Amino acid sequence: MASIVIASIPAHGHVTPMLAIARAFVERGDQVRFITGARFAHRVAATGASHIPLPPDADFDDRDLVASFPARAKLKGVRAIAFDMENVLVRPATAQYETLMAAHAAAPADVVLIEPLFYGAVLLLGHPRPKRPPVVVCGVAPLPISSADTAPFGFGLPPIRWGNRQRNTVLTALHRRILARPNRILDERYRQVHGRPLPSSLIDWYRDVDAFVQLTVPAFEYPRSDAPAALHFVGPIGAAGSEAALPVWWSDLDGTRPVVHVSQGTFANVDYGQAIAPTLEALADEEVLVVVATGGRPLDTLPPLPENARAATFLPYDELLPRIAVYVTNGGYGGVQYALRYGVPVVATGGKEDKPEVGARVKWSGVGRRLRTEHPSPRALRRAIVAVLNQPRYRDASRRIAADMAAAPGFARLAEVVDDLATTTQPLTRWS
């Protein structure tokens, strides 16, 4: 039985997939502790893991970040990521690290599993093995590991045919300048703990971890000729779908009309103009059935529904997705991955956080269309949805990825990585 500590920033899209991992290790018989925000305590308990709350200065409510950081509302792209890096991610790193160390001191952990934005792990990595437990990053978002073959994370730019590496070199220099301030703050925190400079940077520190387990398949990620050996693609782990009851209108999904599902998830679902409202308007006169999920918001907050639309706060996704012709989203990584498990093609709009990176991969992998705006016009959205409905290449690409996901090892491979590290006390060399 292994002693495992899991840690996540208190953001729904990061906590939820880590909960599936926690449950799988608990069911295997391991002792699991889960560090995250107070509002997720009941969800952690439901997995059988023990909840360790983040201290107040590292806890926040991701449902209303703009209220806490008004300046964030005006930022987009890499500048929005830089703002979040400093205020949401880097500044809480010391409190996160101290929570990790206290948990390890109370009961030594064999392995620490984190999601990519838990920056307290950067400070933990400053200790040599075996003084610290091995650290495994679970990739619950687009792969952020830097590469000569990819643009820096946050630009939302896929590889290009000509001059790709030259472009990426220029963008990396720009990226470093944009992130100079949060990088300096993280360096200060690292010096306070270890008395020496930060050996990596905000875009390179993932190369210092003991393993990086990406929860998708290679076909959805950009190829990297310099990918490290400690990077593992394992495919999805656990179910991410809702166990909601069938709505009263479920019989309308009778196959007589193509079904278009639109959702903005449970986090960025306040501004319906990102995907839901323009989809309803775009398809009001089309021979389709539009199915809306509000992600928990009351149905009376929706704009008026046209005749061909149905809505629910939550939907049973394992029942719904096999009936879907197109999934329209504002770019949440988990929702896109879940749709692809069922071979459903995607139309992704823009947004903040990692959404530009998700949309770029949707287009690059061929599984759908991408609209590079946070508030698409109904006309543009209709054009994208109709194209995905009528052109088989999108569904064919989605089905190929679904087949890859079905064949992926999933939790079994993650467990192998954890068990190998738990029984190895020798420090690893830095990834090349």
Are residue 270 and residue 290 in the same domain, yes or no?
Answer: yes
Domain region containing 342: 250-406
429: in domain: no
Phi, psi of 81 (to 5 degrees): -65, -40
Helix (H, G, I), strand (E, B) or coil at 111: strand
Q: Between the CA of residue 195 and those of 33, 98, 123, 198, 304, what are the distances in Å?
A: 29, 16, 11, 9, 59
Are residue 162 and residue 278 in the same domain, yes or no?
Answer: no
- The Cα–Cα gap between 41 and 34 comes to 9
212: in domain: yes
241: in domain: no
State percent of the chain over pLDDT 90: 77
CA 363 to chain centre: 17
pLDDT in the model for residue 142: 96
Are residue 215 and residue 89 in the same domain, yes or no?
Answer: yes
- The Cα–Cα gap between 113 and 20 comes to 13
Are residue 266 and residue 204 in the same domain, yes or no?
Answer: no
Are residue 56 and residue 167 in the same domain, yes or no?
Answer: yes
Instruction: State the pTM of this model.
Output: 0.92
pLDDT in the model for residue 6: 98
What's the CATH number where 37 sits? Answer: 3.40.50.2000
- Calculate mean pLDDT across residues 8-12: 92
Please give the mean pLDDT across all residues of the chain: 92
Parallel, antiparallel or unpaired: strands 3-7 and 31-36? parallel
Mind listing the pLDDT tens digit for each residue in 383-403? 999 999 999 999 999 999 999
pLDDT in the model for residue 29: 97
Cβ atoms 99, 38 nearer than 8 A: no
Are residue 385 and residue 412 in the same domain, yes or no?
Answer: no
Mind listing the pLDDT tens digit for each residue in 52-78? 999 999 998 777 666 667 777 777 666
Mind listing the pLDDT tens digit for each residue in 307-359? 999 999 999 999 999 999 999 999 889 999 999 999 999 999 987 778 899 99
Greatest CA span in the chain, whole angstroms? Answer: 67
Question: Within 10 Å of residue 419's Cβ, how many Cβ atoms?
Answer: 15
CB-hemisphere CA count at 13 Å for 186? 32
- The Cα–Cα gap between 429 and 129 comes to 11
Cβ atoms 427, 128 nearer than 8 A: yes
Are residue 59 and residue 141 in the same domain, yes or no?
Answer: yes
Cβ atoms 44, 34 nearer than 8 A: yes
Q: What is the amino acid identity at position 345? A: P
Q: How many residues does the chain have?
A: 432
The secondary structure element, H or E, covering residue 102 is helix 93-106
428: in domain: no
240: in domain: no
pLDDT in the model for residue 68: 67
The secondary structure element, H or E, covering residue 249 is none
Are residue 122 and residue 167 in the same domain, yes or no?
Answer: yes
pLDDT in the model for residue 239: 59
**Cβ neighbours for 46, distance < 8 A, ≥ 6 positions apart:** 19
Mind listing the pLDDT tens digit for each residue in 404-430? 999 999 999 999 999 999 987 654 444
Are residue 78 and residue 97 in the same domain, yes or no?
Answer: yes
Are residue 117 and residue 24 in the same domain, yes or no?
Answer: yes
Are residue 183 and residue 74 in the same domain, yes or no?
Answer: yes
427: in domain: no
Are residue 223 and residue 362 in the same domain, yes or no?
Answer: no
pLDDT in the model for residue 32: 98
89: in domain: yes
Number of domains in the chain: 2
- The Cα–Cα gap between 193 and 127 comes to 10
Mind listing the pLDDT tens digit for each residue in 355-368? 899 999 999 999 99
93: in domain: yes
